Structures are given as C-alpha cells and as structure tokens.
C-alpha cells in the first residue's frame, strides 16, 4: 500500500511564506510525476505545480514566480515553497504522485490534504 502524508499547512498573513512537504511511503518501485493541487471552498480542485522524475516543472499561471516545487527522490518527498502568499491562495493543498509498486503499474495516489489560510 502507498501513502502520501502532507505537512506544513498553517494560517499566515498576506505576503508571508509557507513550505509544504509530502512524503511517500510504502512498497514503492518508482515515482514519476509528483505534484501539488489545491481546492478552495466551492471550487474545483486545480493544479498548482508538478515536477517530473527528470525535474521538469510546470506551474499554474497564478503561482508562477511565487511558488517553487522540488523533490528529493532519496527521501521520496516533494516540497512546495510558497512565497508572497495572497488571500486567494487559501485552500486545502493536496499532494499527488504517480507511483509504481513492485506488484502493479503506475497509479495516481493522493494525500489527505493540508489547510493553507492566508489572511489579508
């Protein structure tokens, strides 16, 4: 079984920074794309940033220049550094990873989510 556990969510003021981390555990053969998504109240879940196994990154236009995604394959973690936070960044942030286990092909796994609240 594969588990993704996020941490780092908090209540901050506009302009401040937060760092989210997600650790993948379980019977893992390899991890391809890892990413962060978010869902604000009353809205659909949206992509924030992704990073491939080759470290190619992709960002939503709304976070470009403010957020940075990175990964540590040895530790099986993906991190989202969020700077210059805005109230509109308030959402539950979910970690996602495409994981291949020893007994299966690649499958998309999700974390339980971590709350980020930015006050104005």
Using the predicted structure, report yes or no on whether residue 43 has a pLDDT greater than 90. Answer: yes
| Residue entry with tokens 């403010």 | 66
| Residue entry with tokens 């659909």 | 44
What pLDDT band is residue 56 in, cutting at 50, 70 and 90? very high
Using the predicted structure, report yes or no on whether residue 26 has a pLDDT greater than 90. Answer: yes
Beta strands in 14-66 (DSSP E): 18-26, 28-39, 46-51, 57-59
pLDDT score, position 104:
82
The SS3 assignment for 88 reads: helix
Q: What mean pLDDT is predicted for residues 12-29?
A: 97
């Amino acid at each position: 079984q594969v588990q993704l556990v996020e941490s780092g969510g908090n209540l901050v003021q506009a302009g401040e920074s937060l760092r989210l981390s997600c650790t993948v555990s379980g019977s893992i053969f390899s991890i391809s794309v890892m990413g962060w998504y978010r869902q604000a109240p009353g809205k659909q879940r949206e992509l924030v940033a992704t990073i491939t196994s080759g470290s190619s990154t992709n960002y939503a236009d709304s976070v470009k220049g403010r957020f940075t995604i990175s990964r540590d394959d040895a530790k099986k973690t993906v991190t989202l550094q969020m700077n210059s936070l805005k109230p509109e960044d308030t959402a539950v942030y979910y970690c996602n990873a495409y994981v291949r286990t020893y007994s299966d092909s690649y499958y998309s796994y999700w974390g339980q989510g971590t709350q980020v609240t930015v006050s104005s």
